[in-house]
Structure 1
């Protein structure tokens, strides 16, 4: 069975053989990105499951923690940052509130302000540390300089796709930290 990392090259070669009139070079990039996304997503989900937190809750806590002190955002801001509907934010908040990780309070202009509790901050800080450590391990096969180049080129590709989408942001993939 071919390695997932070699599979993209084999698929590209097969298409070159079967359809020499087409340029399948994108397969070598896109298929590898899909494979990498699956690996990173599976690793993150496994880590989160071991920590007894679902990706949606981690996404919520991460958005609050990244917001800076006092670690509070309106539900509207949370929906925008996490790329989900207000109804989805409400469901996530209910779960996080039940676990003591967030509180809701009235904000200005009838807004609801969501605040990260001390318990929620400790929880997200611990898990983010584990995530960053594991993802650094997964990237250990390439040097720091190669990581910088890869990050720059992926950012360039994302910006070009965003430009092609007339400024519409690309949807989130997996959970964010």
Structure 2
């Protein structure tokens, strides 16, 4: 989708990497390995992003780290665009909203780390979740977003078993709004 609007593939990867999960940080060599792209093209785009104010850099040891600038005026719009690109909005509309009382829903796996993936890992926290109905909803949503969805359901007493790297996409305390 974004590849049509933005022809520079490195720029698209960086936008999605930083704006999907704003808590994630990255450094040049790590991005080189992740994207399998040249450090020069990545550095060029990182410099452009930093000059524009989309990201900020800081030193961590001898590494120059990059992180999204959450004060950037279009931060919310770019974050929502990244969420829509990966189909998170469809997951909220077609799965989460129909399951009833949930405590929280997290995006885990590669996407929670800001890495593109055809597989969406979702951790659902709630009691008395109808797993057969969930499987039906997941199957329908997979057809809509052209990605596989893998779900793991946790009872509210099992939250200590949640993966360490996760991105909250639904919270009952916020009435689903994040």
Decide: shared fold, TM above 0.5: no
TM-score for the superposition, normalised by structure 1:
0.42
Larger radius of gyration: 1
Which one has a larger percent strand, Structure 1 or Structure 2?
Answer: 2
